[in-house]
């Protein structure tokens, strides 16, 4: 079985698609090409790819719509949006749909490779800040002791299993929009209420515990139409 990361290049222009497929294949990735939404869906019937390089300007169903669909399928698929536009609005919309990164044409192949490797590191769960202690907002998550620590006075607050699991998933996926349904799936517990807004209620409780201002969250941010994203503090 081939365990190399599988990348799907979605690009309607045949020459450009083949150029990207050939280049990434030479970098030891397993690469498939798709000319649009129908071909991408057919590929996903067989296997979930590791990463999708998704052109925004596709005929018919555009890249933004496909990014939303991909994120609904899985929170672990890496998504990089590719477009000829340099408009900041397009970039924001792309990230709000659940994309992990964004690159504008024309681009250098080495820049694309660097972005691909960066997204793959994040999607593989090997983030450097997923160690025993992770700074989250105004608190510190101690994964070994299963508590939140207040750095100001050293006080500790024990976490419920569902709260710990949710914070651990965020710590392992920093700066990455995570789909609400996927979060519910990977952190489900028997005692957890099984309804659509369960994750939203848990996020509200966690924000009260870690945010400086829960009404204006900075650590666990809402990504419209997708779910939530953990943003580590810069200091």
pLDDT of residue 92: 60
pLDDT over threshold 60, residue 136: yes
Asked, for residue 235, whether it belongs to a domain, the answer is no
The verdict on 15 and 82 lying in the same domain is yes
For 34-43, 181-190, 205-214, which range has the lowest pLDDT when averaged over its residues? 181-190
pLDDT of residue 148: 94
* Average pLDDT of the residues of the chain: 84
pLDDT of residue 194: 41
The verdict on 184 and 89 lying in the same domain is no
The verdict on 10 and 115 lying in the same domain is yes
Number of domains in the chain: 2
Q: What is the pLDDT of residues 10-34, one digit of tens each?
A: 999 999 999 999 999 999 999 999 9
- For the chain, the distance separating the N- and C-terminal CA atoms, rounded to the nearest angstrom, is 43
Which residue in the block uniquely carries the two structure tokens 């599988």?
Answer: 6
Structure-model confidence comparison of residues 93 and 42, the more confident one: 42
Could you tell me the pLDDT band of residue 143, with boundaries at 50, 70 and 90?
confident
Contacts of 35 (CB under 8 A, 6+ apart): 10, 11, 12, 14, 17
Asked, for residue 1, whether it belongs to a domain, the answer is no
The Cα 202–Cα 227 span in angstroms is: 13
- Tell me which residue range forms the domain holding 65: 6-123
The verdict on 17 and 112 lying in the same domain is yes
The total number of residues written for the chain in this structure? 235
The verdict on 105 and 13 lying in the same domain is yes
The Cα 213–Cα 216 span in angstroms is: 5
The verdict on 168 and 112 lying in the same domain is no
DSSP 77: S
Taking the CA atoms of the chain, what radius of gyration do you get in angstroms? 19
Indicate the residue among 100, 123, 146 that finishes a domain.
123
pLDDT over threshold 80, residue 204: yes
Q: Which CATH number do you get for residue 101? A: 3.40.50.2300
Asked, for residue 128, whether it belongs to a domain, the answer is no
The verdict on 105 and 157 lying in the same domain is no
Asked, for residue 212, whether it belongs to a domain, the answer is yes
Asked, for residue 145, whether it belongs to a domain, the answer is yes
Q: Which CATH number do you get for residue 187? A: 1.10.10.10
The verdict on 24 and 113 lying in the same domain is yes
Structure tokens at 136: 């989250």
For 21-30, 118-127, 131-140, 212-221, which range has the lowest pLDDT when averaged over its residues? 118-127
Structure-model confidence comparison of residues 131 and 65, the more confident one: 65
Burial class from Cβ neighbours inside 10 Å (0-12, 13-18, 19+) for residue 216 reads exposed
pLDDT of residue 91: 60
Asked, for residue 19, whether it belongs to a domain, the answer is yes
């Amino acid at each position: 079985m081939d365990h190399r990361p599988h990348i799907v290049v979605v690009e309607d222009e045949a020459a450009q698609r083949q150029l990207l497929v050939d280049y990434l294949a030479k970098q030891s990735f397993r690469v498939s090409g798709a000319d649009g939404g129908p071909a991408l869906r057919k590929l996903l019937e067989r296997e979930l790819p590791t990463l999708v390089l998704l052109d925004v300007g596709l005929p018919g169903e555009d890249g933004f719509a496909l990014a939303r669909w991909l994120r609904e399928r899985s929170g672990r698929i890496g998504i990089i949006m590719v477009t000829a536009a340099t408009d900041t609005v397009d970039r924001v919309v792309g990230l709000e749909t659940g994309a992990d990164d964004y690159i504008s044409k024309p681009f250098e192949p080495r820049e694309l490779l660097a972005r691909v490797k960066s997204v793959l590191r994040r999607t593989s769960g090997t983030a450097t800040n997923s160690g025993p202690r992770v700074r989250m907002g105004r608190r510190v998550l101690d994964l070994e002791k299963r508590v939140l620590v207040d750095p100001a006075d050293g006080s500790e607050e024990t976490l419920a299993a569902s709260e710990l699991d949710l914070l651990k998933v965020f710590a392992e996926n920093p700066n990455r929009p995570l789909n609400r349904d996927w979060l519910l799936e990977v952190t489900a517990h028997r005692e957890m209420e099984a309804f659509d807004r369960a994750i939203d209620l848990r996020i509200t409780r966690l924000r009260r515990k870690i945010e400086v201002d829960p009404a204006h969250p900075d650590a666990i941010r809402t990504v419209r139409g997708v779910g939530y994203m953990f943003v580590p503090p810069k200091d």
